[in-house]
Amino acid sequence: MSENETLRATGDYVGATAGELSRKTAADKMAGGVSQKALFLRRGRIALHEDRLVLGAWSEAGDLVLRRADITSVEVRFTDLYGRFIGGLLNAGKPLILGTVPAGEIYLLIDRKEFMETTDDRAWAARIEAWLGE
């Protein structure tokens, strides 16, 4: 395996763009309080490699491949589009928000445990920030 093929981390994600979340109705948001899959219609595997971050099965066209230069920001926080009411009362439910050049702002829930309303988003944010700083 070449250095560029070295896999640093992988997990399952559900995701949506900020634009997609902004178009959700009140009924969608209520359904999202029961299952985040009502709001986050994109699903697949996330993989961090030495030279890229890949969101598998992002669209009908396939994977979304992000290079370091494609990522403009990394945050884990509640927003008006995805708040504490929908994401759960715990800080562990905050979405990972990536600012990207090709897709705009992306909201991700990585390895979300439905019953516990927790994600691995904070660990992923730390991984991505470290990778961007290399």
Tens-digit pLDDT profile for residues 18-49: 999 999 877 777 666 667 778 899 999 999 99
Mean pLDDT of all residues in 76-99: 76
- Tell me the residue length of the chain: 134
**What is the pLDDT at residue 34?**
63
Mean of pLDDT over the chain? 88
Q: Which two tokens stand for residue 77?
A: 């926080």
Give the list of residues 6+ apart from residue 15 with CB closer than 8 angstroms, or none. 40, 42, 43, 55, 58, 106, 107, 108, 109
